Amino acid sequence: MPTADPNPDTIAAVSTPPGRGGIGIVRLSGPHASSIAAQLVSLRHPLEHGRARLADVLDADTDDAARGEGARIDEAVVTWFEAPHSYTAEDVVEIAAHGSPVVLDLLLRRAIALGARLAEPGEFTQRAFLSGRLDLTQAEAVRDLIEAQTLTQARQAARQMGGALSRRVAPLKQALVELIAVLEAGIDFAEDDLDVTPQAEIARRIDALTPPLAALEASFARGHIVHDGLSLAIVGRPNAGKSSLFNRLVERDRAIVTATPGTTRDLVTERISLDGIPLELVDTAGLREGREEAEQLGIARSREALADAALVLVVLDATQPINDEERRLLEAVQDRPALVAINKSDLAEAHPSARDLTGVSALTTSALTGEGIAALRERILALATGGAAAEPGMLTNLRQRQAVSTAIAALADAAQANANSIPHEMILIDLYRALWALDSLTGQTTPDDILNLIFATFCIGK
């Protein structure tokens, strides 16, 4: 585990979002946090760990002799968390004043003048990681919680912050360390006629590690979708009801709907949540030979959206036969995650060819009556997640997935080397590679440049 600098700077930052609000917080962390805070404000009672203290924020130009009621700019609540019982495991002071940018700027500038340094993005959380308060998966979850846009995202981040992923990895790492220790002991004491670990025992131990790691890697299928979301392009011929279905899915009249074909000339996007999965819906212009320049440009953008989207919803008109453009479209999406909605099912005269589809998943809908909309939502959700269920300790980003994939590949190499009766010294190389990969997952062997890149994505003050 990386260790913090034994004599770090004291850092300071405004930890609340920019702008005006009821409360604004200036946070300090480091060896001089409490002494700087005592000079920033006039405390009514001495600081005490974990207790809030009322204080006056004074004008910076006021000398000691002139301090009085007229010199006070604001009132604040000051809370001191003594090391190591704080977020960063250092002395931390939080000054909660009114959310005036002028007052917060005054406090921050004075803190810097008194010896503090302006915090870098994510530096408070980075110090928590370096001190061992959090591992890297928990630190990443702090950022995820701040950026969460759905309750499901927040819940997933909260579980990760609580160490769900770390707890899932810990027994696997322990089993791997025990296997490495056994092989190392066999090498160290080979001259003492100590029994060497049998080949079958090594194979059994490696085989026991692979399935849970494979299951952990598979959790990325849902974990990253909850974390990042997906885009879904709604495509089809003009006047098939794409915009009407779009409005039904977003549950408001977001796109203009008329009986005139070709109403949608540009992409219309809206972000929704399906069972906590963030989904960006893209309503597109009807695909046909454009009759005007504006419509031609809209159709070109529709084709770009179709190419870029993770999911595709093809909308057919149940009252019309399938035309050549639609047949080409259906052929193009057969190898992609796609659904077909046969819309206008409420109309009595439905053309039979619109229901005779092969190679694609289709269901009937009516944007007018709402028929099939609930089923459409369920189909979209199943398509998005691939049927993967929510579980504790899911992988949520590519860095985590790469670490687990590397560990699985290293164990496969070790198993192959063992099957080929390769010396244990060589098997250990692969086992250590797997261990280092799992260590990088939690941050114990993560290079500094990667750590800096991770924490640089945090907001200042966190």
Judge if 234 and 330 occupy the same domain.
yes
For residues 334 and 429, state if they share a domain: no
With a cut of 70, say whether residue 360 has pLDDT above it.
no
Kindly report the CATH number assigned to the domain that includes residue 381.
3.40.50.300
Tens digits of residue pLDDT in 72-109: 889 999 999 999 999 999 999 999 999 999 999 999 99
CB atoms within 10 A of CB 107: 26
Residue 257: per-residue pLDDT: 47
Q: Are residues 318 and 412 in the same domain?
A: no
452 in any annotated domain: no
Nearest to 264 by CA among 233, 232, 280, 287: 287
Q: Which one is predicted more confidently, 185 or 170?
A: 170
Q: What domain range includes position 316?
A: 230-385
In a domain, 224, yes or no: no
Q: Within this chain, do residues 167 and 277 fall inside the same structural domain, yes or no?
A: no
Q: What pLDDT, on the 0 to 100 scale, is given for residue 260?
A: 47
Domain co-membership, 348 together with 376:
yes
Any idea how long the chain is? 462
Q: What is the pLDDT of residues 152-168, one digit of tens each?
A: 888 899 999 999 999 99
The verdict on 260 and 341 lying in the same domain is yes
Give alpha helix (H) positions in 148-262: 151-161, 164-188, 199-218, 220-228, 242-250
| SS3 state of residue 158 | helix
Mean pLDDT of the 311-334 span: 84
pLDDT of residue 94: 95
Position 333 confidence tier, pLDDT thresholds 50, 70, 90: confident
pLDDT tens digit sequence for 383-431: 888 777 778 889 999 999 999 999 999 999 999 999 999 998 899 999 9
Residue 455 lies in a domain: no
Domain presence at residue 456? no
Region 317-333: what's the mean pLDDT?
A: 83
| Burial of residue 68 (number of CB atoms within 10 Å: 0-12, 13-18, 19+) | exposed
Contacts made by residues 73-79, CB under 8 angstroms, sequence distance 24+: 73/103, 73/106, 74/98, 74/100, 74/103, 76/41, 77/52, 77/53, 78/37, 78/41, 78/43, 78/47, 78/52, 78/53, 78/54, 79/50, 79/51, 79/52, 79/53
Overall domain count for the chain = 3
Instruction: Give a yes or no: residue 85 inside a domain.
Output: yes
Q: For 214-268, how does the pLDDT look when each residue is reduced to its tens digit (9 = 90+)?
A: 999 999 988 888 888 888 888 888 878 888 888 888 876 655 444 444 555 567 8
- Tell me: do 345 and 404 sit in the same domain: no
pTM as predicted: 0.78
* 279 belongs to a structural domain: yes
Check whether residue 250 and residue 332 sit in a common domain: yes
Indicate the residue type of 128: A
Ranges 53-67, 192-206, 224-238, most confident: 224-238
CATH number assigned to the domain comprising residue 110: 3.30.1360.120
Distance, in Å, from the CA atom of 121 to the CA atom of 119, rounded to the nearest integer, reads 7
> Average pLDDT of the chain?
83
